[in-house]
Structure 1
């Protein structure tokens, strides 16, 4: 039975866990690694080759024998990146070698070119030989060996990870199917055209904001609305979203006479799992599911106030999408920072304060109204204030969440 009116409010973590427990990763598909960026690995990635495949020089210099570090030497050949020295060489001889070139057979030391002086093919030591002798050598398998698990399932595939996947010998890798997200803006007060917005209306900015948040992940986004505050209109919108893996509504999830998302979901055949959580902004959050054509759809009803919608989208919509895509850690992680300005004693709900973080200190924004989008756009973090937290003074340590919302975060 869900947490509905009259029941205790769920904590953020309990509500997130209930949502994630309802969310099943999407089916696996194999894609060219060029198309894998910003997705999540669905299966462990095992190296099919060794990197590096041979001993290489880490610097420009000369390859010599470790028992012959004082010289002088005679240069008898060269090993360049992509063009290995094919012969053999003995004591008193050296091979010119470039960074990334294969170490010649028998060589076990590289002396930096700035520690040597060359006259024709004659080479003498003028600086300090390497200590240890193999200091400037990248040994075979230094990075990874054939058969090593280089990436675990659920890893987010950023630029370094796709580069690693190719280096490990993979042209195709397993990821989850792209998620289909439908965002429904609802409310009679919403105007689709900001240039034709009557005094009793506000521009329908939540849908485009939430769609932009969702598109930071690998998803297809469908936007519907603004949808009028009628049961039939909401039912038609839910029917239009019947193929979505995740449906996100904005507005209409509170308990007022014109908040019809809950009754519409009941008629549509969805089951309410919980409603309302112990945070601000964002208390009237709703989560429901519907079993449709052999698969489960998840519905998240977000508050209509834009900052409330953003904060709950950050803590619920984005983790749900990451879970659909197979992320090992779908929830955002917090960092520690220190206050640069005071904050007031908090009430009985956990609060997330818009703020700007400069990499060292965090400054709370003076405007914290849940309808104030300007202050949200000027913030790049949320300060996490526990329920009943005492007043905070400059220099106090606080937890923050990075928003990737402009600025440096």
Structure 2
């Protein structure tokens, strides 16, 4: 049977993401929710700060009593507020983050203050100012929106959720993923790779790529080019996503498609009009989505970036799944493009992008030197130095 014609990239991504529904959400402690996506909008349960605070070390005084001199009557330290109220001509020593006293509305910075015993005055032409006071609720007030549903939880989001009075949040589960490496030519141990073999790199590479978006990432293999062994590998998986590397093309030893069919999976599409990565395959069995990636490591990386990561993000429940792009100016000429969308490894710096010299889909040193992919639409003509091109950033999975 001849293979089907490849489908456009956008159609393939759309069909893949339509197969996936976000996993159910759970209540997680805020402190352990890093990497997950909010399932609900998050609003503040408290004001931040809950009272007027000093932004600097110095002396607190009344806002209508800035000239001095003043008599120092006490101290307010962080966590230990001054209990009284300020009158005209009075001041208290205050630390950064400490509560302002009642009637205190300005701070004289320590470096602008002259103190003799309990008498305080201003040095030179400086003065106390209300600008050194963090007003109650200036950051946010009770009921204010803090984070939108679909936001990924990182260090700053953990901090704002806690500051807003939340000890737990409702967030989506992260998917479980199993990666199966296929091929008689693969050696599990690089130190024992014979001349007719190559070290198995795709499994660890894709596992590292997927780790920020998965709760568990298991690598199986290498599995020989044997349909029964492939089916046995499928049988031992309990994952939301199964990824195969290799065996997805049309050769006599490319057995992933027939193994999936015998296993009971339904093929959704096979072959995408892109370079590298044409043999990509997507299937489903029950709620498990199977993503068959090409065996060449660069092809596996590019399709993992453009398909696996968006799929994992979709399952985890973010507001956006596909990677975003930037524009940059070419520093070298590029030849015309054929009938498939091309993705060129490149290095982006300072708004300029330089294609790597080696474009073979097995060349890993060039991949390791790249931090971006130049997207070139099918049928594009040659491009000159200085031409603006669309590029994907490889850092953070392409999500800003």
Calculate the TM-score normalised by the size of structure 1: 0.90
Corresponding pairs, count: 396
Q: CA deviation at 1:148?
A: 2.4
Aligned to 1:73: 70
Post-superposition CA distance 1:129-152 (Å, at most 9, x none): 36xx53222111111222223122
Q: For structure 1, which segment, 281-290 or 44-53, has the greater mean C-alpha deviation from structure 2 after superposition?
A: 44-53
Equivalent residues in 2 for 1:254-293, closer than 5 Å: 254-291=249-286
CA distance in 2, matches of 1:113, 1:319: 53
Q: CA deviation at 1:88?
A: 1.1
Q: CA deviation at 1:388?
A: 3.0
Q: 1:279 to 1:354 in 2, by over 3 A?
A: same
Equivalent residues in 2 for 1:51-66, closer than 5 Å: 51-66=48-63
Q: For structure 1, which segment, 245-254 or 328-337, has the greater mean C-alpha deviation from structure 2 after superposition?
A: 328-337
Structure 2 stretches lacking a partner, 5+ long:
none
Q: 1:109 to 1:71 in 2, by over 3 A?
A: same
Q: CA deviation at 1:359?
A: 4.3
Aligned to 1:387: 378
CA distance in 2, matches of 1:237, 1:159: 37
Aligned to 2:241: 246
Q: CA deviation at 1:171?
A: 2.1
| Of 98, 110, 113, the match for 2:110 | 113
Structure 1 stretches lacking a partner, 5+ long:
none
Q: CA deviation at 1:114?
A: 2.8
Post-superposition CA distance 1:330-381 (Å, at most 9, x none): 2222223332333233333222111222344322110111011111112122
Q: 1:346 to 1:127 in 2, by over 3 A?
A: farther
CA distance in 1, matches of 2:80, 2:276: 62
Calculate the TM-score normalised by the size of structure 2: 0.92
CA distance in 2, matches of 1:248, 1:284: 13
What is the RMSD computed on CA atoms of the aligned residues? 2.2
Aligned to 2:126: 128
Is this contact kept in 2: 1:377–1:405, CA < 8 A? no
Is this contact kept in 2: 1:183–1:222, CA < 8 A? yes
Q: CA deviation at 1:324?
A: 1.5
Aligned to 1:9: 7
Report whether the alignment pairs 1:25 with 2:32.
no
Equivalent residues in 2 for 1:173-184, closer than 5 Å: 173-184=169-180
Post-superposition CA distance 1:217-237 (Å, at most 9, x none): 342112112222222122111
CA distance in 2, matches of 1:405, 1:393: 29
Equivalent residues in 2 for 1:80-95, closer than 5 Å: 80-95=77-92
| Of 189, 210, 218, the match for 1:222 | 218
